[in-house]
Amino acid sequence: MHQLLTPAFPDYELIDSGDYEKLERFGKFITRRPEPQAIWHKSLSEEEWRAKADASFLRTSQSKSDERGEWHRKPQMPDRWNIEYEYKKMHLKMRLGLTSFKHVGIFPEQAANWNYIYDNIEKLKESGYTPKVLNLFAYTGGATLAARAAGADVTHVDSVKQVVTWSRENMESSHLEGVRWIVEDAMKFVKREVRRGNTYDGIILDPPAYGRGANGEKWVLEENISEMLECCAELLDKKHGFLVLNLYSMGLSATLARTALRQTFDNTGSEEAGELYFSDRAGKELPLGTFCRFNRGK
């Protein structure tokens, strides 16, 4: 069944969206960023957007596919600030910052998956052992922290050293420790893990549409995702493993993700697929990615 999921996240709010932009509150500060899926018109006026935004991202190119640009900040807007997220006994504190690719260090819609990861690890721990979780294309580590907060042994893989350092800062701010950090191309890492015969109780996949590995390796989602899923099928525990797949590339549906997983994985447990979204104050629902996830233990 196709689901629409939106997490409860007090430190985040989608204020308005439209005309290929979004106005968002992260903690105390409001940002204005490009958003290619906001194809409708804004509900607030241009004057209101300008008045509310503490920082606005302007592309250096007119191309909607080019995300490079620069931030224009008001005097009160810092380079870095923190937000928090809580779920059950999980209390995460994450550092945000203004990057040259419009990102701020968090995808808040992913909190819906953080809850799922936390709950599944809690259930696995009831069997009396410590689950092992692999987070690929792990970015600044929200899913890593959720898994670690639930008590899993976590391996965090990302090809960008600065991003892994950012993730480590988030771990320390959240009063956690013990994550295994790997700065490497994700495909190279999973192939080596398959050769070693290693397995994991949970795998989190959050691949970009395009990317470069630590040594210049090229990643193209449509070309490489099948091989990646085949490797993950070898690595995931056959009896009670869970998997979370996120897709951000426009045009790739939840049905596509579910079909790819069904072909690759022998899954006899529960399965969910759909879209992650937030509603703005006017009630406009902005899709922010598709997901497919399953648990063999249910």
Measured distance CA(126)–CA(297) in Å, rounded: 12
Here the tokens at position 252 are: 């790739």
The confidence score (pLDDT) of residue 219 equals 83
Q: What are the helix and strand counts (H, E) for the chain?
A: 7, 17
Q: Which CATH number fits domain 83-91+103-295: 3.30.470.10, 3.30.43.10, 2.60.120.260, 3.40.50.150?
A: 3.40.50.150
Given a contact cutoff of 8 angstroms between Cβ atoms, the answer to whether 134 and 235 are in contact is: yes
Here the tokens at position 21 are: 């932009």
Q: Tell me which CATH homologous superfamily contains domain 2-80.
A: Golgi alpha-mannosidase II (2.60.40.1180)
What residue type is 235 in one-letter code? L
| 84 class by beta-carbon count within 10 Å (0-12 exposed, 13-18 middle, 19+ buried) | middle
Do the strands 55-59 and 29-34 form a parallel or antiparallel pair, or are they unpaired? parallel
Residues of the chain where predicted confidence (pLDDT) is lower than 50: none
User: Residue 19: how many CB atoms within 10 A of its CB?
Assistant: 14
The confidence score (pLDDT) of residue 62 equals 62
Measured distance CA(53)–CA(24) in Å, rounded: 8
Which whole-number Å values give the CA distances from 277 to 38, 92, 291, in the listed order?
12, 21, 11
Summarize pLDDT for 250-291 with one digit per residue, the tens: 567 888 888 888 889 876 678 899 999 999 999 999 999 999
Given a contact cutoff of 8 angstroms between Cβ atoms, the answer to whether 135 and 157 are in contact is: yes
The confidence score (pLDDT) of residue 7 equals 96
Query: Considering the entire predicted model, what is its pTM?
Result: 0.94
Q: Within 13 Å, how many C-alpha atoms sit on residue 251's CB side?
A: 3
3-state helix, strand, coil in the chain (%, to 5): 30, 35, 40
SS3 24: strand
Please report, for the chain, the start and end positions of each structural domain, with discontinuous segments joined by +: 2-80, 83-91+103-295
User: Residue 256: how many CB atoms within 10 A of its CB?
Assistant: 16
The confidence score (pLDDT) of residue 73 equals 96
